[in-house]
Structure formats: structure tokens, C-alpha cells
Structure 1
Amino acid sequence: MTAVSAPTDVPAHPAPARADWRDTLREASDLALLGFAVAAAALPVLTLAPAVATASAALHDRSVTGSWPDARTSLSRFGRALPAGLAVSAAALAAAAVLAADLLALAGGRVPGGGPALALTAVVVAALLGYAGLVAVAVGRTGGRGWRAAARRVARACPRRPAVWAAASGVCVLAVLLAVLVTPVAVPILGGYALAALHAVDARRPPEPS
């Protein structure tokens, strides 16, 4: 009696289902809603950092588990992020105001230095934006808390990962430029997309040396 051999053209593991246009549209809609949620939570201005931290934590959950956290989890995270986040928002807004004033003064010729000083200041601003974006990603990995620890960790990592730092800076600069060009109602959508892009950039980082 001869043994019947198993067919060799059957794959050992089924191929993963490919995402179609509906999945892409759903993901785009989710990111747009995330941006509007951040904008709504940041309306008091000083709640900007807690709103970003909560959104970053939601994106981290999405990348790890494949699903978004429920509303109760996000509200709880937002509440826990408020005490430290208010101070972070105030510091970030003050720094942004100073840097914007410097750029406007250099561009208007009110401060000596001309084009080279303006270009150098623009590079510094871009680098700081990239650093801030990576800090927001790092905070998202810890449930939307731990700004100080995240800031120290990213400050140590940026010189070791200049390509990731540069990519994050490019994402932030592009988001700012588009925010100036598009209609104001579309700015929150850019926020959701930019934060997702920062998570994607950071996810491609090389393994850090022990």
C-alpha cells in the first residue's frame, strides 16, 4: 500500500489579509477624529500638553494592540496628565513665543545678523520641534505621563539617532508649514496625522546600545 504524499503547493501558513481602500479610509478618518479631539481638549490652551499626551498614548495602544483605547481609558489618562501637563504647556508656549519673536525680528531686519542668523535660528527651531515631537511619542509609551523622564531619555537618544531626530524635525516643520497654508478648520486634522507620523518615524529607530 503506497503512502499518499501531501500536496506541496499548499502554503504552510495562510497569507495575511491585505488592507484594502476601506481600511485606509477608516485609518484616515480615525486620525482626523483624533486631531479634532486633541484640538477640543486643548481649547483652554494650557491643556495642550495633556491632550497631546493622551492622543500619543492612544496611538501607542493602536500600534501595540491593533485597537484604540476606549473613551473611559482616554479620559482617565487625560485627568492624570493634567497636573504636570499644565506646567509643560506653559513652558512650551513660552518657548514657542520667544522663538517666534526671534524669527520675526530676524526676518524683518530688526535684529542684526541677516540671512545666516535667520537660517541658523530656523534650524534650531526645527531641531527643537523634532525633539518635542519625540518627547510626545515617548510620553505616549508610558500612558501619557512622565514628561520629565521622557525629556531626559529623548535628549540622550537624539545624538545617537540623528536620522530619527532629523526625520521627526521634518515631520514637525512640514506640519507647521501646511497649517499656515490650509484652511483653519483642517489644522486639527494635520495634528492627528503629524502625531501618527512621529510614532511611525520613532518606530523605525535602530536598537539602542545597552
Structure 2
Amino acid sequence: MDSRADRSRDWRDTVSDAADLALLGILTVLASAPVLTSAAAVGTASAAVHDWLSTGSWPPARRTLSRFGRALLPGVPVVLIGVAAVALLAADLAALVSGRVPGGPVALVLTVVVAAALLGYAAAIVVEVGRTGGVAWRSATVRAARACLDHPATCAALAGTSLVALLVGVLVTPVAVPILAGYALAAVHAVARRRPLAGVELS
């Protein structure tokens, strides 16, 4: 049961939510600064958003710090794999755009479609790991893959949401990008709850 839907809300709640998400984004970016801590930071933030949407309140600071600590070591391979995947896609796109490899516009379009699908899959993983307290990345990748195959519309919606967030991140002033991170996390969670990744809606 979602307690956020069970009580009346006014503009003060909206302002408070906006401020909380902005702070979450800033803290997530700061915690991700060493790079190897990025997965732990994102997973912990995702878990906090899941708690907030499910219960109407943010988890205590002690629980959040505990989650972050537990997620540090398991998150390192996730960061390395993610960086490698992004580097490979970027190199592939650069080669296609420059004409160094054959394929032309068709190959470029197919690569962009694959990149968008992988972005939606990555967003699904972030949502799933948030539902497990910010840890268990390996099982989250399996659940997210199964969910994306079973519900491609949800994966597409997550990809679209993530692409919009990236576009806005490019357009806004750099100082606002950390703030955007919190809203992006909330957005992918909201999409997943509206179009459930799993067979049933998670509370």
C-alpha cells in the first residue's frame, strides 16, 4: 500500500519533495566523484527513492550509510563493466560517424537503437537494485533482463525517460546536473511503478 496516496497533499509537500530530490541528486553525484563508488551511490539513492515512493518517507541516514557501505565492494565490477560498455559504444558511434568503418547511416541508426535499448535496460537494473536495498546487482541484472524481454514497452518507456534526462543534462547549466540526477532517479522509478517491471506491483 502506498501511503503517499493515502493522505492529502498540498503545495508545501510538492516543494518539500522537490528539495529532497535535489538534495538526493547532489549527494549521489558527490558520492560518485571517486568513480569506483558510482554504483554504490546510485544503488543507495535508488533504494532511498523506492522507500520514499513506497512509504512516503525517506530512510534514516544511518540505514542509508549502511546500505552505501555494504554496496561499495559489490559495486566496483558494475562500474568497470559500465565504463567499458559506454567506451565501446562511444568508439563504435565515433567510427560510424567518421566513416572509418562500413555500414553508413543504416549501421549508425542500428547502433543508436541498440544504445537506447541498453540505456533502458540499465535504468531497469537501477530500479531493480533499488528494490533490493541498493545491493544484489547480479540478480538485478537478471530480473531486469527478464522484465525487459517480457515487457518491451516498459523498457522503451525507461529508455525514453533516460534519454530525456540525458538531453536535459546536456542543455542545462553544469551546476544543475547534480540536481537533475535525483529527479531522473525518481522518474525511472515512477515509470517502472506505472508500468511494472515485475509481474506484480511492488509496494
Structure 1 equivalent of residue 150 of structure 2:
160
Q: State the AA in 2 paired with 1:109.
A: G
The answer to which structure has the higher helix fraction is: 2
**Does 1:193 pair with 2:183?**
yes
Structure 2 equivalent of residue 127 of structure 1:
117
Higher Cα Rg, which structure? 1
Match of 1:45, SS state, is coil
Cα distance in 2 for partners of 1:111, 1:36 equals: 40
**Does 1:50 pair with 2:34?**
no
Q: State the AA in 2 paired with 1:31.
A: L
Which of 130, 135, 153 is the matching residue for 1:145?
A: 135
Structure 2 equivalent of residue 8 of structure 1:
none
Q: Which runs of 5+ in 1 are unaligned?
A: 1-15
Cα distance in 2 for partners of 1:179, 1:54 equals: 21
Tell me whether 58-67 or 172-181 shows the greater mean CA deviation. 172-181
Cα distance in 2 for partners of 1:104, 1:25 equals: 42
Structure 2 equivalent of residue 208 of structure 1:
199
Deviations, residues 81-122 of structure 1 (Å, cap 9, x unaligned): 011101101110111111111112212222221211111111
Which of 45, 54, 62 is the matching residue for 1:64?
A: 54
Percent identity of paired positions between Structure 1 and Structure 2: 61
Structure 1 equivalent of residue 16 of structure 2:
26
Q: Which runs of 5+ in 2 are unaligned?
A: 1-5
TM-score (norm 2): 0.91
Q: State the AA in 1 paired with 2:172.
A: V
Cα distance in 2 for partners of 1:105, 1:26 equals: 46
Deviations, residues 4-45 of structure 1 (Å, cap 9, x unaligned): xxxxxxxxxxxx654222211111111111110110000001
- Residues matched between the structures, number: 194
TM-score (norm 1): 0.88
